[in-house]
Amino acid sequence: MYIDGEWTGSASGETFDAINPALGEPFGQIPKGGRDDARRAVEAANRALAEWKKVPLWERSALCHKVADIIDARKEEVGDILCTELGKPRHGEATDESGETSRPWRIAAEQAKFFEAHTKPCEDASKRVLTFWRPRGVITAITPWNFPAAIPGEYLPFAIVMGNTVCWTPAPTAAATAIKLMECIHEAGVPKGVINLITGPGAEVGDELVVNPGTHAVGMTGSPATANIITQRAGLKPRLFELGGNGPIVILPDADPAQIATSVAFACYYAAGQVCSCAERILVADEIKKDFVDAMVEESKHWVTGDPWDKNVNMGPQNNMGVVEKMTTHLNDAVDKGAKIVAGGKRPDRPGFFYDPTVLVDFSNDSLVNREETFGPIAPIKSFKTEKEAWECINECNLGLVSAVFTQDIDRAWTWAEGLNTGLTVINDWTHFWEHHLPFGGMASNQSGMGRIGGRHTLEFMSDLKTIAFSVGGPAVGPSMWK
Ligand code: NAD
């Protein structure tokens, strides 16, 4: 762990196993932090805050660039740990993520310099009113395991560039990658206490960072269940939640099934289906269903599981046995309710937490694949004769992060995009499209999140808007509007 500028074990001296999911075996030991460690980090972050917020914005920005430079210089190490700890294929997804890890650090560094507040005209002629951004204080950042190098970048640089300090806890099954990233932050010379890393169980370390009065806002990426607990525990602290999704992808009759299947298969199978923006449910017009299902079965053959260090492997394992079991539960439930498995549907005969890429057809509206996020390598397909049927299926689910629509008809594309209850709808491409400066998050009133991450939206969350009213020409007497 890294607290107050020092590498440290846990106060209790306890550790837990870091597991290689491609083998199902431990490869190292991680400090098992607890509440005492989290409290120590909060104290350090508060001590650091007083000086850090006075550091000029341009200097804070330059430091974020320096962290990015070091991440880039050490990206092979980042790729190696992503392969070992997550089983991400070394020549594919591990390289993708390690190459992207520095990007949000640079975007935060640049966008903060142009993050303007405003002067405000007002009715009282004697007043000059202006607003500016101040740091919130100490930010709690809680991150998941699926992109353990990239996702911390959605919080940490945006927090520190705005003058906040951070207490960060990563998912225990991705803690070794967090430590690698922290090494880069340390090497860049981020002052002591400005970013603190505490590894350990979320229900202890994460909970302490949420409830401790010394933290002032909570940013968390993870499951809706955890976000609900945090909501009950956080009191009045502002919260930014990036949570689970469940597609859908809608394919209208004028789409070319063979042409789009590659893109849809990526949306289902990338990162072994462990992405919040995965396709998860595919609604296809009945006229082109057969061609589309055939194309998806063909596409599934290109996704090869196995040793993630092997150049020919492009699909790694699931992160842990819980994810494997959820995949099995969802498949069994769908089949019990009438769906058919036409590709995959089983675990390959090898150690580790692998699952074969799976195409499932004709799932029912009340099945778990439709109602919940599966988070595995699954392409659940259902056809519709009328658009009303498709809407009925989609609206059975209370998640709404990213959707996609495939059609050449601009009117239909627009109508669907406006109607879908997701924060982002992509027309004619996979659901994983996003760039770090664009707003991203769940639609209000569903279970996919709260607020928006990305560029100035994250900067806003990391800041408190201060209003100053200046009286010109001496104090006014009484409420000005009565004069
Ligand atoms: P999770 O909810 O189990 O854990 C997320 C984090 O919360 C971890 O760091 C965990 O240690 C911590 N935590 C657990 N219990 C806690 C508690 N009581 N108090 C405070 N913190 C606690 O999620 P996960 O399994 O790590 O991640 C997978 C989920 O994340 C999926 O649902 C996925 O869709 C979602 N996700 C969303 C996005 C997005 O941008 N919307 C991106 C990636 C992942």
The answer, yes or no, to whether any atom of ligand 1 lies below 6 A from the CB of 84, is no
Quote the pLDDT of residue 117.
92
Mutation test residue for ligand 1: of 167, 169, 209, 226, the one with most atoms within 8 Å of CB: 226
Mutation test residue for ligand 1: of 208, 276, 280, 448, the one with most atoms within 8 Å of CB: 276
Instruction: Give me the residue label for tokens 């990305």.
Output: 454
Q: What is the Å distance from ligand 1's center to 82 Cα?
A: 18
Q: What is the Å distance from ligand 1's center to 172 Cα?
A: 11
The protein residue with its alpha carbon nearest to ligand 1, atom 14, reads: 202
**Contact (Cβ atoms closer than 8 angstroms) between residue 60 and residue 112:** yes
The answer, yes or no, to whether any atom of ligand 1 lies below 6 A from the CB of 401, is yes
Helix pair 175-187, 75-86: axis angle to 10 deg = 170
Mutation test residue for ligand 1: of 221, 374, 403, the one with most atoms within 8 Å of CB: 221
Atom of ligand 1 at shortest range from CA of 144: 26
Strand locations in 333-398, DSSP E?
A: 340-343, 358-361, 378-384
> Which positions ≥6 away from 5 have C-beta within 8 Å?
44, 186, 191, 192, 193
Please report which helix (H) or strand (E) contains residue 456, including its range: helix 456-461
SS3 of 98, please?
A: helix
- Annotated active-site residue in 83, 167, 276, 278: 276
Sign of the CA dihedral running 324, 394, 423, 256:
positive
In SS3 terms, 355-373 reads as CCCEEEECCCCCCHHHHCC
> Which positions ≥6 away from 407 have C-beta within 8 Å?
251, 252, 254, 255, 413, 416, 427, 428
The answer, yes or no, to whether any atom of ligand 1 lies below 6 A from the CB of 400, is no
The two tokens of residue 263 are 């893109």
Residue-wise DSSP of 127-196: EEEEEEEEE-SEEEEE--SSSTTTGGGGTHHHHHHTT-EEEEE--GGGHHHHHHHHHHHHHTTPPTTTEE
Rounded (5°) CA angle 270-271-277: 70
pLDDT digits (tens, 9 = 90+) for 137-155: 999 999 999 999 999 999 9
Residue 122 neighbours by CB distance under 10 Å: 12
Q: What is the Å distance from ligand 1's center to 104 Cα?
A: 20
- DSSP secondary-structure letter at 8? -
The answer, yes or no, to whether any atom of ligand 1 lies below 6 A from the CB of 203, is yes
Helix pair 75-86, 57-73: axis angle to 10 deg = 70
pLDDT digits (tens, 9 = 90+) for 248-274: 999 999 999 999 999 999 999 999 999
**Contact (Cβ atoms closer than 8 angstroms) between residue 117 and residue 460:** no
The protein residue with its alpha carbon nearest to ligand 1, atom 12, reads: 202
Least Cα distance to 24 among 73, 87, 83, 89 occurs for 87
Q: 309 — phi, psi (to 5°)?
A: -85, -10
The answer, yes or no, to whether any atom of ligand 1 lies below 6 A from the CB of 246, is no
Helices (H) and strands (E) in the chain, counts: 16, 20
Least Cα distance to 104 among 158, 62, 178 occurs for 158
**Contact (Cβ atoms closer than 8 angstroms) between residue 315 and residue 269:** yes
> Which positions ≥6 away from 250 have C-beta within 8 Å?
283, 390, 394, 403, 404, 405, 406, 416, 420
- DSSP secondary-structure letter at 287? G
Q: In angstroms, what CA-CA distances link 374 with 24, 37, 202, 268, 348?
A: 21, 34, 22, 11, 19
Is 276 part of the annotated catalytic residue set? yes
- Annotated active-site residue in 43, 242, 280, 299: 242
The answer, yes or no, to whether any atom of ligand 1 lies below 6 A from the CB of 152, is no
Q: In angstroms, what CA-CA distances link 115 with 162, 442, 463, 465?
A: 10, 24, 11, 12
Average pLDDT for consecutive 10-residue bins of the chain (483 residues)? 98 98 98 98 98 98 98 98 98 98 98 95 94 97 98 98 99 98 98 98 98 98 98 98 97 96 97 97 98 98 97 97 98 98 97 98 98 98 98 96 97 97 96 96 93 97 97 72 50
- DSSP secondary-structure letter at 325? H
Is 93 part of the annotated catalytic residue set? no
Whether omega for the bond prior to residue 248 falls within 30 degrees of 0, making it cis, is: yes
Q: Please report, as a single letter, which amino acid is at residue 228.
A: N
The answer, yes or no, to whether any atom of ligand 1 lies below 6 A from the CB of 207, is yes
The reported pTM is 0.97
Atom of ligand 1 at shortest range from CA of 276: 34
Quote the pLDDT of residue 474.
76
Quote the pLDDT of residue 444.
85
Mutation test residue for ligand 1: of 143, 205, 223, the one with most atoms within 8 Å of CB: 223
